[in-house]
């Protein structure tokens, strides 16, 4: 019997070790920090270049689209994101952000956003499809869609 238990224990520990090892290695590249603007900006140096999800609010009237040489509008967006909601008395830290692509319907002034991407010396560079926005005024509606998705 003892022989059998040793075998089982050995197999189990090898499996667990292999699994943990794989999990560890994939988690290191698979995870991203989830940070608020205020947590990142004061130590901008330290966070530069790290993959993260940045949470904040779009600064009102800051969304602009670049035009190309012939004056036609493009999919390049630049905008600013602040730490606190737009109606708060103090906006908190503000960061410049850029994005190329289609933005969600809910991406607009004052919207609560989560941006996937990296902080660079020129501001926050958002990944393709990296803009997630919550609707600013219609909290109820947003909650409903969450429920229905269950």
Beta bridge pairs of residue 21: none
Q: Note whether 98 binds another protein by CB under 8 A.
A: no
Nearer to another protein, 6 or 143 (CB): 143
Nearer to another protein, 121 or 142 (CB): 142
From CA 71, how far away is CA 140, in angstroms rounded?
A: 40
Q: Note whether 150 binds another protein by CB under 8 A.
A: yes
DSSP 49: T
- Least spacing, CB of residue 96 vs another protein, in Å: 22
Rounded to 10 degrees, the C-alpha dihedral 143/80/110/149 comes to -10
Task: Give me the sign of the Cα torsion angle 48, 53, 54, 59.
Answer: positive
From CA 63, how far away is CA 86, in angstroms rounded?
A: 14
- Least spacing, CB of residue 68 vs another protein, in Å: 10
From CA 137, how far away is CA 150, in angstroms rounded?
A: 23
Q: Note whether 14 binds another protein by CB under 8 A.
A: no
Candidates 3-11, 42-50, 73-81, 85-93; binding stretch for another protein (CB under 8 A): 73-81
Question: Which residues bind to another protein, rule: CB under 8 A?
Answer: 26-27, 30-35, 53, 72-75, 101-103, 105-106, 114, 116, 128-129, 132, 134-135, 137-150
């Amino acid at each position: 019997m003892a022989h059998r238990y040793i075998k089982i224990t050995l197999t189990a520990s090898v499996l667990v070790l292999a699994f943990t090892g794989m999990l560890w290695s994939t988690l290191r590249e698979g995870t991203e920090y989830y940070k608020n603007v205020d947590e990142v900006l004061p130590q901008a140096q330290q966070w530069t270049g790290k993959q993260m999800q940045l949470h904040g609010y779009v600064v009102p009237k800051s969304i602009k689209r670049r035009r190309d040489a012939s004056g036609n509008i493009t999919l390049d967006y630049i905008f600013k994101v602040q730490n606190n909601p737009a109606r708060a008395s103090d906006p908190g830290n503000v960061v410049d952000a850029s994005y190329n692509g289609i933005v969600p319907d809910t991406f607009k002034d004052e919207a609560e956003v989560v941006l996937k991407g990296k902080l660079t010396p020129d501001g926050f560079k958002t990944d393709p499809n990296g803009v997630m926005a919550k609707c600013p005024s219609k909290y109820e509606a947003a909650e409903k869609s969450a429920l229905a998705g269950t």
